[in-house]
Amino acid sequence: MPNLLMSLLPTFSSQSNIAVVGASGGIGQAIVQLLSADSRVANLTAYSRRVPPSGPKNVKTAFIDLENEESIAAAADISASNGPVDLVIVASGILWQGEHLRPEKSMREIDIEGLTRLFAVNAAGPALVAKHFLPKLRKGSKTVFASLSARVGSISDNRLGGWYSYRASKAALNMLIKTLSIEHARQWPDSVVAGLHPGTVDTQLSRPYTSRTPQRQLFTSQISAQYLIGVIDQLRPEDTGGVFAWDGKRIAY
Ligand SMILES: NC(=O)c1ccc[n+]([C@@H]2O[C@H](COP(=O)([O-])OP(=O)(O)OC[C@H]3O[C@@H](n4cnc5c(N)ncnc54)[C@H](OP(=O)(O)O)[C@@H]3O)[C@@H](O)[C@H]2O)c1
């Protein structure tokens, strides 16, 4: 039974209004589960394409498709109907899909379909969420817009090669986050726009590619969600535009 007096978000408003996008995913679900039991969370709206019939009692669920801007604008209005928004977490993303869209091992496998799909969901999608949600953030107290990126999106840390579309889509996401942070800070100086790397997490997204990951380096979604919420709570305005790993360490672009 969660202790309702405990909060994982002590640096946020005591009546926080939270939006989680990608709430049907492994990490997204775990984030919703943890935050729905938090004493500082007044409203939590969980957005996904597959809207579950029911969830935790105090969680509202609603539809979003990152490839449909109207659904993103409608989602921002739903969250704002509860008042100004304190925290937006984008936990959506794709690495592979079906038989034909798989991370490329070689340049021979690069094609326009894979590149376009991964850019649409991993980079354009979170940017459109930012476009519609950032203007709805609360002013005058700490707010955060955090989008799940990935360490492999770091250009300076790329030693192995491969995974062209995924790496490039996350590098593009990091640039979008940095650029959004600059414009947003002009009117929201207390706000943080950041990318987060969740670690290697046992979810549907990673499962086909983790057979060689040592067990102690493979997080459950629950552990990763706990780390990520801890990092979000520690973020300060001077961190805006950065990408941070589950342990709070900054990842170079
Ligand atoms: N797992 C890892 O090891 C790992 C490592 C580094 C980074 N990450 C990042 O962490 C994030 C979450 O990954 P995960 O492991 O939790 O994956 P997951 O379990 O596969 O969840 C992915 C989520 O993305 C959503 N999504 C996909 N396409 C969408 C679209 N067009 N519109 C709206 N939502 C869409 C899915 O929703 P639907 O149910 O609607 O399909 C699902 O909720 C991703 O950005 C991923 O790149 C994960």
For 167-184, what is each residue's pLDDT tens digit? 999 999 999 999 999 999
Residue 250: is it exposed, middle or buried by C-beta count within 10 angstroms (0-12/13-18/19+)?
exposed
Which tokens go with 63? 């539809």
Q: Residues 47-89: pLDDT tens digits?
A: 999 887 667 778 999 999 999 999 999 999 999 999 999 999 9
User: How far away, in angstroms, is 27 Cα from ligand 1 center?
Assistant: 8
Tell which atom from ligand 1 comes closest to the C-alpha of 120: 31
Interatomic CA distance for residues 176 and 146, integer angstroms = 12
Mean pLDDT of 216-223: 94
The pTM (predicted TM-score) of the whole model is 0.97
Class of domain 16-245: alpha beta
Q: Rounded distance, CA 120 to CA 217, Å? A: 29
User: What distance in angstroms lies between residue 170's CA and the mean position of ligand 1's atoms?
Assistant: 12
Which segment of 2-6, 55-59, 128-132 scores lowest on mean pLDDT? 2-6
Pull the structure tokens for residue 183: 């414009």
Q: Which atom of ligand 1 is nearest to the CA of 65?
A: 32
Atom of ligand 1 nearest to the CA of 200: 3
